[in-house]
Structure 1
């Protein structure tokens, strides 16, 4: 399983660097700040119960990769559909918080982020939490998640 995940990460990294726009000249500190902003906006959207807004942090492509407890999902729309099934209302969604543990700029156009997510929910629903690793790529429209492994 670990070898399989490593293979997926390597594949996504190669894909990202091959498809990445050239001439991106953002400093590492600016890139990290921009990525933090994407995640902060996602947390705010989620906490308002707005999944479409939350999904703006993801690459809107059939090649988006999401790895979760049910396996692999490819594509922006199927990922959104899975979120809608798993979190059908604001009570199920709760308030999202990210605790970023590590950020590694893999190239000027790609960033690896590892962290912890926490959903603060009503007592009847119970809180949820887990870990994630995401790969973001820089596009003319900004940083977007191209691969997400959440547990």
Structure 2
């Protein structure tokens, strides 16, 4: 058992390690501006090379936030995935930021959403920034 004086060590992760970690996970959080300010919502996702793909409802706040005045314009979002063990004070967190857009008609995100209902808006995030940190035992 860890002692209260044992502090975890924080280390920065490189892009390759970040992508390796999130490749084994199916739920992440999307950070976006819903018109009323910052919002965060969990989604099921898949990693397609170095891009993140997910689906959402057509009527949802996330899909509506991707509407722009410009056809085929990217909307900047953040995407976060983590695994934290509160008992051992260890874990990791990965953040991807970049442009998101709806996938072309007929292209679908290869994701099986946990909630019931239609997820007809398929979205691709192409990250321009991938950062991560890991907390490990000393």
Please state which band the TM-score falls in when normalised by the shorter chain: 0.3 to 0.5
> TM (normalized to structure 1)?
0.30
Structure (1 or 2) with the greater helix fraction = 1
> TM (normalized to structure 2)?
0.32
- Structure index of larger Rg: 2
